[in-house]
Structure 1
């Protein structure tokens, strides 16, 4: 289970927050003040280890690695999760953990007290297959395909532990944040206008389209429910039951939803400090799903170096986790 609280004091010190909420719409701009000197990456390390622990245990068991400190010769396994994944994959994982970090660490639309009991990295099948093969064919390094479905799921629980709302997150990393890059994320690639005339238009196959066409309760909620059943069926019995009622095909019990979109990356050289590339005044017309909507822009300095510093440090001194 995910048990580590976000390092709120460090985040407040190193990230400048500019929040705004308008009804059922929220926008949050997070600006990294200075390039990481090791303070931010080390503060985030326990949170990232907690987020990846379930998948680490599951993948290592598949690979055939015994993580007990008394196993083997003490040199540690040659292939590990998530350390041996390529940088492109790490950037995707970083965004998914960032979704949980923002949800737990900052006031968002609705000002709910979200619960993040576990992350869904276990369901990253291509990473599982890649590491299994890499342990046996170390020369066969390649890029991996991202995990399908929602990047992140969080829960809002009532006083009895039942789920009364959930938050589904989509997280995207771009090396350099500018309007064109964000438009591609949200609206799709530029294509020739099907109507002719030689104009270039957006394909519509972006995040807005994904959110608008997502089932009211996505498969990530089922995956989260399965993990709760495995780890703590007694402690989360009310949550498991309420999720089951929302997941049935016939006559499901409606479960309110909040959609979260995070776009993270490095600032461009010409970017004005408070420039926002996502809508910040209200719900945009491209979003038609009708749920509460929270948009987050995270602007980093030397973000890829920060991501590598975090992932290179995970379990570096803790071989039994």
Structure 2
């Protein structure tokens, strides 16, 4: 049964990449919105989890407001997918016209300094479009890490897709990613990491919207080990045709403390920047999984 489910999942994503990009854009947009609204009305596990997460972001929101936000969140999430299926056909000019980034100089200045830059961001808006903005519109290659998905054929699709957009993609598991990222940074390169959800169960505890969560220690550890600049960034949709972004001031390495203590301080600084962007644009935060420690512990107890 699991094998059959994996094949169906892989086939559906394959259909999206092969078919959606061929649709007229208004048709693809309408299709994405229809799928989003249908999914939202069914009130499945992902939608309920999204609402529970948004309740942490907006603790004073009424049930009606949370439902409104989760519907907008599903539309934003499906917009991400529809755009991503079509990104290989976007020209560099289209990408430039579709993305506006505040304080981009913090990234370009950091790269010009030659010490390497780590760009850390949460699951906001379309991080693949942000990546294409770097590779095609700015001509800046970068290295990233991808969660190893099941089935393996689906993971291979994602890797091939992102590599076709100009990204170097490393698997999250396997042990070699950290060393490769460190080498890229020491050579003055750019590393981009989606860093608001820990996939290893050994992340750093942070306070996130008033509660404990775990976030990956990798960005902070890489910055300490290589001397690279660590820059938080957030994204949001700014109308039907534009995605906006913000690059925050660099996260400094503390002058004192153990490596673990420094990582904790730096990861908390990332969490604070992420929280600022998410609070401003909660409908664009695509977090349909458990994130906070209390929810993860509750899930383990149920099992």
Which band: TM-score by shorter chain? under 0.3
* Higher helix proportion (structure 1 or 2): 2
Give the number of the structure with larger relative contact order, counting CA–CA contacts within 8 Å between residues 6 or more apart.
1
Calculate the TM-score normalised by the size of structure 2. 0.26
Larger radius of gyration: 1
Calculate the TM-score normalised by the size of structure 1. 0.25
